[in-house]
Amino acid sequence: QRNRGNWEEAERLYQQSLALRTELGDRAGMASSWGVLGEIQRKRGNWEEAERLYQQYLEVMTELGDRAGMASSWGVLGDIQRNRGNWDEAERLYQQSLALRTELGD
């Protein structure tokens, strides 16, 4: 549904996935769901909600030590700030992402 642009149905299904993953205590799965839900909100232009979801994703990636996930999160959060016109914050986040991606050889 996400690939088809059916945002409401995709959101409903990912919310179900998030609920199940939360019930199971699957932190990586929860983060994945938050990331996709954040993407859906980005596509809709809901910057505040997208930022909130990606912050949750980043928190779990940090907790799990997933450095590639952290770098990706900072890049997406930079995109959100850029789209909101917050240039300095966008640049700071992009720099964090770039530094970690460089360190990882990505």
80: domain CATH number is 1.25.40.10
Note whether residue 12 is domain-resident: yes
Query: What is each CA distance from 86 to 22, 26, 31, 33, in whole angstroms?
Result: 33, 34, 25, 26
Note whether residue 29 is domain-resident: yes
Note whether residue 95 is domain-resident: yes
Note whether residue 67 is domain-resident: yes
pLDDT at residue number 34: 96
pLDDT-above-90 percentage for the chain: 92
Instruction: For residue 15, give the amino acid letter.
Output: Q
Could you tell me the residue range of the domain that residue 46 belongs to?
7-104
| Calpha distance 21→52 (Å, rounded) | 19
Region 72-82: mean pLDDT is 97
pLDDT at 67 over 90: yes
Structural domains counted in the chain: 1
Query: How open is the CA angle 75-49-33, to the nearest 5 degrees?
Result: 70
pLDDT at 61 over 90: yes
Higher-scoring residue by pLDDT: 4, 16:
16
pLDDT at residue number 36: 95
- Name the percent of the chain in helix, strand, coil, to the closest 5: 85, 0, 15
